[in-house]
A and B are shown apart, each in its own frame.
Chain A
Amino acid sequence: MRTRSQLAIICSISLAAAGLTYLISGPPTRSHLCDPATRKSDEICLSEISDPNGILWVDARSRAAWQKNGLPESILWNLDPAEDMQAFESNNAEKIASARLVIIYCGDENCGISRQVAERIRKLDLGPQVIVLNGGWRALRDAGRVRD
């Protein structure tokens, strides 16, 4: 009986402490994890980028999202029909041709648009390697590169 009471008290205290922490600090942060060993071959983890020179960042989210919190110096290239696809090509061809590496990000790992944009840029065949950022914008935010 004594053991049960002690267990109940310990559980109650733990629960109360957990609840209080949740109320004060909010829900746990789920930061994006990328494992270079298990990522897809056309992706890159943010942690793998050792040389930032010659990288062209492409934001594949909406224009509004890019303007709000896109990576500085990134270019916009999405698949929104309201956008002019030919303008994306002609306005950015020079930047792509002179880049060493083109990295595309969309919202998070579920969005899928960056892979389609990558395919379109690859088809232009302007020279640099074109890859997708694993985790997208969320990975950049978790690394403190962009803000909400």
Chain B
Amino acid sequence: MIRIACMLLALATLAQSAPLKFAETLREVHAPADAKTVTTDFTFTNRSNKPVTISRYESACSCMKVEISDAKLRYAPGESGTIRAEFDMGNFSGEIDKTIALWVEGDPKDKPSITLTARVHIPVIVNIEPKTLKWSLNGKANPQAIAITMKDTKPVRITKISSSSENFRHELKTIKDGKSYELVVTPLDLSLPALAIFRIETDCALAKHKTQQAFAVVRKPSSSENDHTR
């Protein structure tokens, strides 16, 4: 009796699992710095013994166009297909995950049985480290530096740096022309909270990498920063 119950349970579990088997549900895509769009394919096969219908598919953002091979939605047992995702890179850089939710016939409306992820890696041409310099309120006004490193094969030069606040003094140092720079920042008053946004303009040929931002902040260290006190 127990054996039969276990078998029935196993069969029920199999019936619940996604009948479309994907070669990969996570695709890593490495895009060139100047690419405007990138495309990746998710291939799948119907491994069940029944025809499967894709009832709905949705991209998590308007930046990703999703197409199913030949717009075919019904797949016979053993039949394969491809889901193509085209990602509009906009002004992104770094790493970004974009998901596609896929419902097959019988899935609950709010719970797709398949989620596909395209992990897009977009090269960073102008690397800024750290992005933010921090000083404690009423602390010591020591100068701190932001390293700006150009990751392009061609030289990229800084053409202008502007600050949003007069509460900080800044100075640009060239370490290696077209390759690496240092932005040295010194706060002038640590008695009040303050924030400065530095706009770093470069002669980078790629428009989306041309202007970067860095921050300087004077703030009271919060007791909740390092714990889970709400």
Contacts and interface: CB of A to CB of B under 8 A. Distances in A.
B61 to A, nearest CB: 6
Nearest to B64: A81
Residue picked from A44, A81, A93, A125, most chain B C-beta under 10 Å: A81
Interface of A is mostly: loop
Contact of A90 (B110, B130, B197, B217): B197
Residue picked from B130, B164, B211, B224, most chain A C-beta under 10 Å: B224
B215 interface: yes
B101 interface: yes
A94 interface: yes
Interface string B121-138: 000000000111010000
B178 interface: no
Interface string B72-103: 00000000000000001111100011010100
A44 B115 contact: no
Contacts of B213: 86, 89-90
Interface residues of A, number: 37
B60 interface: yes
Contacts of A30: 110
B225 interface: yes
Interface stretch (A5-13, A46-54, A139-147): A46-54
Interface string A29-54: 01000000000000010001111000
Interface stretch (A18-26, A67-75, A96-104): A96-104
B92 A81 contact: yes
A118 to B, nearest CB: 13
Contacts of A113: 60-61
Contacts of A116: 96-97
A108 B60 CA distance: 11
A140 to B, nearest CB: 16
Contact of B131 (A48, A82, A90, A123): A123
A51 B63 CA distance: 36
Interface string A103-124: 0000010111100100000011
A44 B230 contact: yes
Contacts of A86: 91, 211-213
A16 interface: no
Nearest to A91: B197
A103 B78 CA distance: 45
Contacts of A101: 224, 230
Contacts of B226: 129
Nearest to B92: A81
A101 B226 CA distance: 11
Contacts of B131: 123-125
B162 to A, nearest CB: 12
11 contacts: A44-B230, A50-B230, A81-B63, A81-B92, A84-B91, A94-B195, A97-B195, A101-B230, A124-B215, A126-B219, A129-B228
Given A89-B215, A110-B111, A129-B226, 19 more contacts: A48-B230, A80-B62, A81-B90, A82-B62, A82-B90, A86-B213, A89-B197, A93-B195, A97-B193, A97-B219, A98-B219, A100-B222, A110-B101, A111-B60, A113-B60, A116-B96, A125-B132, A125-B134, A126-B217
By Cβ-Cβ distance, the 10 closest A-B pairs, closest first, are A81-B90, A81-B63, A125-B132, A81-B88, A97-B217, A90-B197, A127-B219, A97-B195, A94-B195, A129-B224
